[in-house]
Structure 1
Amino acid sequence: MSNSKQIMIDILSDAVCPWCVIGYYRIQAAIKDLGIEDQVSIRWHPFELNPSIAEEGENLREHLVAKYGTTINGSIEARKRLTALGQEVGFQFNYFDDMRMFNTRKAHLLLRWAEEKSKQTQLAESFFRAYFSDHKDISSKEVLLQIVASLGLDKSEAEDVLDNPTFQTELVEIERKWLSGGFHGVPVVIINGEEVLQGAQETETYREALTTAS
């Protein structure tokens, strides 16, 4: 495209949300298809699917049964579908029977901090891979700091962020604002503060929205 208009994409997501992964990589595919990589900026915003979950987490299947009434067969089929969709967009879902759902508050704190370091998207992608591909406990401070360091970010500064109660209070307030705005699930994609796309859309849908924004 010859037009150089800048496009801001705001993404509301959680690191343990598989549909956030699918939606994000479809957005990236749409951006690449249109050749507008240099025009697009992405900001990530916090949404905790399970803000009250214990630090040790819960068995993922048991969690989904309790929260959504998902059956074992339903879980098996959903995992197969997500794995196939992941392959389509170049992402590897490695589900396993004892996989756990984790608390993601620390991850969101670091994502907010990484924005000012211009590493927010790289960190979001790293969290997705750590949880879904590499079987990492992304509620673990040590695991998160290792991921931060792998991106060339300062571990000690990141640790200060995690230990600062003011940042935690601010995060909760930001999440409340999104909830009060009527957003109760993720992913949510907002293009230039105007067009709102909820749920993981098809690549073509994102492509059309980005074409309009361009």
Structure 2
Amino acid sequence: MIQIQVWADFECPYSYFQTIVLEKLQARYQERLEIVWRAFELTPVEGNILPTQSYIDNLEASKSEPIVVQENLELLTPKTLSYTWLAQESVYFANSQGLSLKLARALFDAFFLRGLDISNEEVVMQIASQIGIDAQRLKNALENGELTKHVMADEQEFKTYGFQGLPAMLIGEKNFSPRSFMPITGYKTVEELLKILPR
């Protein structure tokens, strides 16, 4: 089985596009491909901040990617950027149920297409429930602190691998040494990933 570990952030448009690409690969490979969500925050601050000009410029540049037209994505410019830790912990929780990609896509859609505040617990719980996650179990997992440890470990591992940007991926054969996995930085299309994936 091929495994792709992906580090991404919910305020990064290229991370959004990568999630859509991974969904397409998952549909093609079915049970031969496992996607594992890893967490990394671009804006690790509490409260809301205004998007910087460089963020807005990056978002505008991302709109020229072919996938935006193919998927008919009408990306909104967020009024504020906020803490995505809750979203990251929730998607990590969804890994154990094989729903991480589905929840990640729903959270990206909520943020970029509907302008919702995904740092709001009520919003995240509602989205999680809609895709089949038990909101009470998720709430309990969030409250006991276990998910926080995992997300912190993910962020540390991102630095250990020396990734320079998001999205970032490790691609290899499941159950082999992590050292055998190929590190990939930056958004990759379906075609680009098909050339990289082990045969």
**Cα gap change, 1:81/1:185 in structure 2, threshold over 3 Å: closer, same or farther?**
closer
C-alpha displacement of 1:27: 4.2
Q: Deviations over 1:113-166 (max 9, x none)?
A: 111122111111111111111111000001000011101211111112222234
**Cα gap change, 1:91/1:168 in structure 2, threshold over 3 Å: closer, same or farther?**
farther
Correspondence for 1:13: 8
Q: Distance in 2 between matches of 1:91 and 1:17?
A: 18
Q: Distance in 2 between matches of 1:15 and 1:41?
A: 20
TM-score (norm 2): 0.84
Q: Distance in 2 between matches of 1:125 and 1:19?
A: 12
C-alpha displacement of 1:29: 4.5
Give the letter aligned to residue 137 of structure 2: E
Q: Distance in 2 between matches of 1:202 and 1:147?
A: 27
Q: Distance in 2 between matches of 1:140 and 1:148?
A: 12
Q: Distance in 2 between matches of 1:128 and 1:184?
A: 22
Gaps of 5+ in 2: 173-177
**Cα gap change, 1:156/1:209 in structure 2, threshold over 3 Å: closer, same or farther?**
same
Quick check: 1:138 aligned with 2:118?
A: yes
State which of 166, 170, 195 in structure 2 corresponds to 1:186.
166
Q: Distance in 1 between matches of 2:68 and 2:100?
A: 24
State which of 112, 124, 135 in structure 1 corresponds to 2:92.
112
Confirm or deny: 8 A CA contact 2:92 2:147 kept in the other structure.
no
TM-score (norm 1): 0.78
Correspondence for 1:87: 68
Q: Distance in 1 between matches of 2:90 and 2:26?
A: 25
Q: Distance in 1 between matches of 2:50 and 2:183?
A: 33
Q: Which has the higher contact order (CA 8 A, sep 6+)?
A: 1
Q: Could you say what the CA RMSD is over the residues aligned between the two structures, in angstroms?
A: 2.3
Instruction: Determine helix, strand or coil for the equivalent of 1:36.
Output: helix
Instruction: Determine helix, strand or coil for the equivalent of 1:8.
Output: strand
Larger Rg: 1
Greater mean alpha carbon deviation, residues 36-45 or residues 138-147: 36-45
Give the letter aligned to residue 119 of structure 2: S
C-alpha displacement of 1:107: 0.8
C-alpha displacement of 1:191: 1.2
Quick check: 1:128 aligned with 2:108?
A: yes
Quick check: 1:100 aligned with 2:87?
A: no
State which of 186, 194, 204 in structure 1 corresponds to 2:191.
204
